[in-house]
Homo-oligomer: A and B are copies of this chain.
Amino acid sequence: MTSKTTYRHTVQISEIDFSLRATIVSMIGYILDIAGADADKKGFGIKKLGSENRSWVISRMALDLYRLPNRYETVEIATWVNDYGRLLTTRNFTAADENGSSILAAVTQWAMIDLSTRRPLDLRYVDEYNRHLCIEQTPINNPIKIAAINSQETIVHKITYSDIDFNRHVNSLRYFMLMIDTLPIEFLSNTNPVHIEVNFLHEAQYGDTLTAGYEQRGTKSLFEIKNSSGTVICRASIEWKAETTWKN
């Protein structure tokens, strides 16, 4: 049993866009980096797993982004693991600005894979969890399954060195970057809250070619990435909320 752990991050210039606010991709990047650092700190991160030929891969994410922080703003991000089953463990996040106002809330689900077989392991036998669970409920609903889409716009991208991560597969952030890039750029000037769902379905490898598709359904932008064999690698949705109480 443990409590939430907090991390602080100051928004850097490389993380902002022309609106001078952190990009959505940067915010997801903070979450993924903190997930990794926190797992390592508690003894079940890739530092330990790597020596045992195991690693973590993210399966699903649900994220409420209430606002995007400005350059040089410092956000405090809390994280905790509150559940695990046979295949997936749940890591939660909340973040607040220096006034204590909420910036985001997120629920992520992860699988542990054997790096030789690339197959998931049974988490019920990973002892480190017993002493690191934090019995605090998830801050928003669990991630949901996203259905297939009818792409209106597509981007084709060949996977290069800069796309792959320590696991030798495509960095999860890159999928999201590719999907965001299919959007009309005006959408990214939006200052309203967004709700994001991501399903990571298959790994993509160096040298493969990805096609990212986009469909707009009302207030929801839907995304799907396929590899050159037509296998769906990743699906996501961004729901653009109607209004915000936040002002930048």
Contacts and interface: CB of A to CB of B under 8 A. Distances in A.
A130 interface: no
Listed residue (A13, A46, A161) with the most chain B CB atoms within 10 angstroms of its CB? A13
Contacts of A206: 185
Contact of A14 (B33, B47, B158, B185): B33
B25 A162 contact: yes
B165 A181 contact: no
A18 interface: yes
A143 to B, nearest CB: 20
Given A18-B164, A40-B72, A166-B18, A13 B46 contact: yes
A168 B18 CA distance: 6
A32 B173 CA distance: 21
A29 B15 CA distance: 10
Given A161-B183, A188-B161, A206-B185, A32 B14 contact: yes
Interface in A81-99: none
A173 B29 contact: no
A144 interface: no
A112 to B, nearest CB: 16
Interface string A157-180: 010111011111001010001101
B46 A33 contact: no
A150 interface: no
12 contacts: A12-B36, A13-B32, A13-B33, A16-B166, A17-B161, A17-B165, A18-B164, A18-B165, A20-B50, A23-B162, A161-B180, A161-B188
Interface of A: 12-14, 16-18, 20, 23, 25, 29, 32-33, 36-37, 40, 46-47, 50, 71-72, 155, 158, 160-162, 164-168, 171, 173, 177-178, 180-181, 183, 185, 188, 206
